[in-house]
Chains A and B, each alone.
Chain A
Amino acid sequence: MENRNFLGFLLVFPAEAILLIFLAYPFVLGLWLGFTDTVIGRKGEFIGFANYASLLQDSTFWLATYNTFLYTIVAVFFKALLGFMLAIVLNRDFKAKGLMRAIILLPWIIPTALSAIAFWWLYDSTFSAISWTLMKTSLMSHRIDFLGDPTNARLSLIVANVWRGIPFFTIGLLAGLQTIDPTLYEAAAIDGAGSWKRFRRITLPLILPLMAVITTFSTIWTFGDFQLVWVITKGGPANATHLFGTLSFQRAIPGGHFGEGAAISNFILPILVICVLATFKFLRRED
């Protein structure tokens, strides 16, 4: 106990052990499985890059790749844009500011599985409240086929994801906005800067590093999304909404091809690593 290093090790050990067992081990196992031909109930053999090569020949995989990028890019863009706008509004002084900020957090707090079920009903081909309202108010003559048409289905899922993800941006950026020294704005105003100029020259540069970090996190989560899609469409119609996460699950668990499922998941890895590295590089430049 005299040895500080030993004590340090002892104190850190439980946390390390939990990380190793529940995070590192499954992660490494997933990597390994991607290089084997393991199917359900049978041990696999090492087959090198065969899974990856075969996936590159698979049109469903390419469709899922396209879907994943589309889903991530569009959803993260709108989450960032709307989240930022909302943060700026909430940064002003108005009545019931605290209450509003609390309400903004709701979509983020509700478990995804629950909000997914709510959206599933909203998008129902027969019982959609949106369709019903539009028809009752004579704005439309027929129900909207939210999830039966590939484009509509993709759009609907992106909207649901944006709805859920906005609070993360809003609250994160709001915290950032509040750290900006108000004297900067005052000084700029005295020098004759208008509100657009103040935003452009003060708010934006100061918030950008934070924005980069939040966007990276959001990208990682959106890229690996699973629950929303699985509850609402199960990847349908005709795989038009399959993401890497859902396709990987479908192939590995109900489909029984563990190796291939793991390989699909592993495709996410390099992309996310690039994403994180890009953010770090950007932040270092900012310094």
Chain B
Amino acid sequence: MGKGITRRDFLKTTAVGIAGAGLASFPFESVAQKGVPDLPIKPEKGAAIRVLRWSVFVQGDKDLWDKNTKKWEETTGCKVMTEYISWEDVRPKAAMAASVGAGHDMVLGWHDDPHLYPDKLVDMTDLANYLGKKYGGWEAVCPKYAINPKTGRWIAIPMGGPVNCINYRESWVKEAGYEKPPGEVYEFIKMCKKLKANGHPPGFALGHAVGDGNNWTHQWLWTFGGKCVDKDGNVVINSPQTWAALEAVKELYDTLIPGTASWLDPHNNKAFLSGEISATTNGISIYFAAKKDFPEIAKDMNHVNMPIGPVKRPTELHLFNQAFIFKYSKFPNACKHYIKFMLEEEQAAPWINAMIGYVGPSLKAYKNLPIWTSDPKITPFRDCIANMLWNGYEGPEGVASAAAMAEYIVVDLIGDACVRGKSPKEAAQIAEQRLLRYYKKKTPKKG
């Protein structure tokens, strides 16, 4: 996740981005499905809604979000009070509101948040259906994140996610004999070996990095067919597929720059921009920081989606953002109307454009916006949400999946195998024991 230097860099670069890519592309062709009947929602008169959302990584996000909000206020005569807080603090604050039954009316939260208190959220099914119909349908992962499995009703509206790709240096990858990083995982490891031999090792975060660590390690495990739990939440991590993933990742780890076991979220950004590493996984933030301060690197870098292993389909994980409304709110309709308004093309298109590829859309039609092809280096980020699975795959969303991620069980699994010399089976056993603390009630009976 590009925080720290990169966020500040965004502040400055997005202005250029909007002027260049964003505004130049207007007026654009409509991406909405024609003839979809409108969903009438009547905001409560004089509603004043309090919104809790994550503080932006990209200044363009805030600019356009606030601008659209103002537009909504003018249209409806209602008021919005938006509180921006650090993205990691949204969960406890929203949970507090849920448990005391007072506070923000609406939250833009992360991953499993709605499944921590599903009974306290307003039904969004009608809005989800309407938006889905009008904008080309939801990406496959969305229902898993937004539908309460017990009732089959939508309890949140997916807003998209700040997504990751492989960021790489073109010249060094070419020097290693590749046009671009291979999409097959073993070929990818081969390329990394060559990169290292040429003195340009890659680097992937293996410390307790909330975004950058969790995302690529889950993807790696899943692409070999390994997973923490099955559909019913039984722990199945100690499997031949997991061992294979660990064997392979050990090979990958041998090619990495030393020290990745200590990397937190900002490390790879710094290492990439200083020319220490040839490839990493990150959001588009590095590219925009490079554009501003290191034009040579920006010219020489590019992105591809994560490599795919034996399961032969994408299994990515990205931060995933959704909007949900608390039942205790006095203004549920105003909130719903607000979300609808923000995701309608007139508002959403300029908003997505202003973020220049940072947040991948959850509604398929928004992949057709010109921003995604305005610079070919942005294009891979467009498909990330379509390529992703959900946190806690293949089990249900909830307290257990949230806790397992917060405990870095998968990051540590990879770290145990790579850094701390555990055999794949030992590492998988450790992870199994740790997972059983959260999924313990559903342990499969042996025999």
Contact = CB atoms under 8 A, between A and B. Distances in A.
Interface of A: 39-43, 54, 58-60, 123-127, 142-143, 145-150, 153, 233-239, 250-251, 253-257
A247 to B, nearest CB: 9
A233 B415 CA distance: 14
29 contacts: A40-B92, A40-B99, A40-B116, A40-B117, A40-B399, A41-B98, A60-B434, A123-B262, A125-B257, A125-B259, A125-B267, A145-B259, A147-B262, A148-B206, A148-B260, A233-B208, A236-B208, A236-B264, A237-B262, A238-B261, A238-B412, A238-B416, A251-B407, A253-B91, A254-B210, A255-B402, A255-B407, A256-B399, A256-B402
Nearest to A142: B258
Given A54-B437, A127-B274, A233-B207, A250 B406 contact: yes
A238 B418 CA distance: 11
Contacts of A257: 399, 403
Contacts of B348: none
B116 A41 contact: yes
Given A125-B262, A127-B270, A150-B420, A58 B437 contact: yes
B395 to A, nearest CB: 16
A60 B434 CA distance: 8
B420 A238 contact: yes
Contacts of A250: 406-407
A143 B276 CA distance: 13
A265 to B, nearest CB: 16
Contacts, number: 127
Given A148-B258, A255-B407, A234 B99 contact: no
Interface string B260-299: 1111100100110010100000000000000000000000
A83 to B, nearest CB: 29
A239 B267 contact: no
Interface string B409-440: 00010011001100000000010011001000
Contacts of A41: 95, 98-99, 116-117, 120
B408 interface: yes
Nearest to B437: A58
Contact of B207 (A58, A59, A126, A147): A147
A126 B402 CA distance: 31
A54 B437 CA distance: 8
A244 to B, nearest CB: 15
B88 interface: yes
- Nearest first, the 6 closest Cβ-Cβ pairs linking A and B are A125-B259, A147-B262, A148-B261, A41-B117, A255-B406, A234-B208
Contacts of A238: 261, 412, 415-416, 419-420
B179 to A, nearest CB: 28
Contacts of B259: 125-126, 143, 145, 147-148
B415 A237 contact: yes
Given A123-B262, A124-B267, A257-B403, 4 more contacts: A125-B257, A125-B262, A127-B274, A255-B402
Contact of B262 (A42, A127, A146, A255): A146
Contacts of A143: 258-259
Given A59-B433, A237-B207, A238-B416, A125 B399 contact: no
A148 B419 contact: yes
Contacts of B416: 238
B262 A236 contact: yes
Nearest to B88: A254
Interface in B25-48: none
Contact of A145 (B120, B258, B399, B433): B258
B95 A40 contact: yes
A250 B404 CA distance: 11
Nearest to A59: B433
A126 B406 contact: no
Nearest to A40: B95
Given A60-B434, A253-B92, A237 B419 contact: yes
B278 to A, nearest CB: 14
Interface string B106-144: 000000000011001000000000000000000000000
B202 to A, nearest CB: 13
A234 B209 CA distance: 8
Nearest to A230: B208
A253 B420 CA distance: 28
A255 B434 CA distance: 13
Contacts of B116: 39-42, 256
From A127, A236, A250, residue with most partner B Cβ within 10 Å: A236
Contacts of B258: 125, 142-143, 145, 148
B406 A125 contact: no
A254 B408 CA distance: 11
Task: Kindly name the residue among B92, B271, B276, B433 whose own CB sees the greatest number of chain A CB atoms within 10 A.
Answer: B92
Nearest to B98: A41
Contacts of B208: 233-237
A284 to B, nearest CB: 44
Pick from A54, A251, A256 the residue with the most CB of B within 10 Å. A256
Contacts of A142: 258
Contacts of B434: 59-60
Contacts of A251: 403, 406-407
Given A59-B433, A237-B419, A251-B403, A126 B257 contact: yes
B406 A256 contact: yes
Contacts of B98: 41
Nearest to A156: B262
Contacts of A126: 257, 259, 267, 270-271, 274, 276
A127 B91 CA distance: 33
Contact of A42 (B91, B117, B210): B117
A51 to B, nearest CB: 11
A251 B399 CA distance: 11
B70 to A, nearest CB: 32
Given A41-B116, A124-B267, A238-B419, A145 B407 contact: no
Contacts of B263: 125
A116 to B, nearest CB: 12
A3 B31 CA distance: 80
Nearest to A237: B261
Contacts of B92: 40, 253-254
A153 B259 CA distance: 11
Contact of A254 (B91, B120, B274, B415): B91
Nearest to A254: B406
